[in-house]
Structure 1
């Protein structure tokens, strides 16, 4: 059994995915496969230069061929896979359901929902064989996908795609006795995606730094267990400052 923990992170060339890759790679005994549309991205070249345990792999959301090839590369290079962080996602449109083009729904569901399914199907054999005996499949989701804690933020295409992805997380927990499958809301983060959402609601930028979000996300993933974590939906942290983007809950309802 390898003493290293092997991670696959999607959408790893920028934003949350990049900082997740960088942070995990700085830990001892880790191997990080950074999934991205463009594995030659300068950000990843720079990361590899300082962290040779990072391996960029081409991985396009919902594209079976590239997902299968990425996992084959992980098998060849590391021989195991212990943690998958499904981070790749888009939020390209804000507006009421009645005027949102159907093409936007298709695009968001393709990337944010089908992307999660294709990723798991590609990774499942290697992931479920993790020598840890407790493999982790973590979805970077969004509180916009919560139905019971619905917030009207004009994100019908995005929110519905995340609600569907959350269902996948719940089903994977039920279907796989060893798998720790969880969804995590990263907060209203100052990434390209988050800042686009912020300007859509009249803010200059999103209020949470990427570094803070990543620390919160990893606090949920590190040490996650089947009993305490799997089949559940968590905020990056509980916040109670009274701001409208706060999640003053220990767990987000589906």
Structure 2
């Protein structure tokens, strides 16, 4: 059994997941499993060549058999799992609700919402065996999931799937006294997904650098406690400036 902290980061071959992975990989006390649909992605190969504590692993969102196999591999390799960063997700549809095909909703709910359930169900036994006695399940959500600070016009597909997953996080917190479960809004990060949304709003790219967003997320992981963090919808960090993407609070309203 390892004395190090063992992490699983899903959707880790690019964007926010990869940036979080890089920060964790540089820690000598971390073993990091890089969950990706393509674990042979060059980005993961390069990182694993630099950091032998990085283990690329095949991860397919909402695939029960695959999720169970991935957790079994983590157990075989590391013997424990302490922190899950559930980052994998999609945002492939924007536009008015009245014109959006039902298939778009179904696809996003399958991945962004049910994928969260499938992952937790596959991982819970190993996660609850964590020697920290306070395992972490952190869900990378979005400010578009907030109904108290609504910004979801033309984003009902993505926003609703993430809002439903936020409810799952509240349920996990309530049902599991030792689990630290929380959602994090990563802001409007300059990822492929974020930049696609930016272009729809007449911008060249999203306003927040991925590296800064990842640093904020990792800080939330490091400081997480049941009392301080669990059952909450956290901002990756307060940002200021008064623009549509700024939120100067530590938490988002549900």
TM-score by length of 2: 0.98
Q: Matched residues in 1 for 2:23 and 2:227: separation?
A: 26
Helix, strand or coil at the partner of 1:222:
helix
Tell me, which stretches of 5 or more residues in structure 1 are unaligned? Answer: none
Q: Which aligned pairs between 1:1-254 and structure 2 lie closer than 5 A?
A: 2-254=2-254
Q: Matched residues in 1 for 2:151 and 2:225: separation?
A: 29
Give runs of ≥4 in structure 1 deviating > 2 Å. Answer: none
How many residue pairs match? The answer is 254
Q: Matched residues in 2 for 1:81 and 1:136: separation?
A: 9
Show CA shifts across 1:94-144 (max 9, x none).
101101111110111111001110000010000011000000000000010
Helix, strand or coil at the partner of 2:223:
coil
Q: Matched residues in 2 for 1:100 and 1:202: separation?
A: 21
Q: Matched residues in 2 for 1:240 and 1:204: separation?
A: 21
Q: Matched residues in 1 for 2:46 and 2:240: separation?
A: 37
Q: Matched residues in 1 for 2:233 and 2:95: separation?
A: 25
TM-score by length of 1: 0.98
Q: Matched residues in 2 for 1:247 and 1:117: separation?
A: 28
Show CA shifts across 1:1-22 (max 9, x none).
6320000000011111111111
Q: Matched residues in 1 for 2:152 and 2:223: separation?
A: 34
Show CA shifts across 1:174-224 (max 9, x none).
000000000000010000000011111111110111100001111111120
Helix, strand or coil at the partner of 1:6:
strand
Show CA shifts across 1:49-84 (max 9, x none).
101111111110000011000000000000000000
State the shift of 1:28 in Å. 1.4
State the shift of 1:152 in Å. 3.6
Show CA shifts across 1:153-185 (max 9, x none).
411100000000000000000000000000000
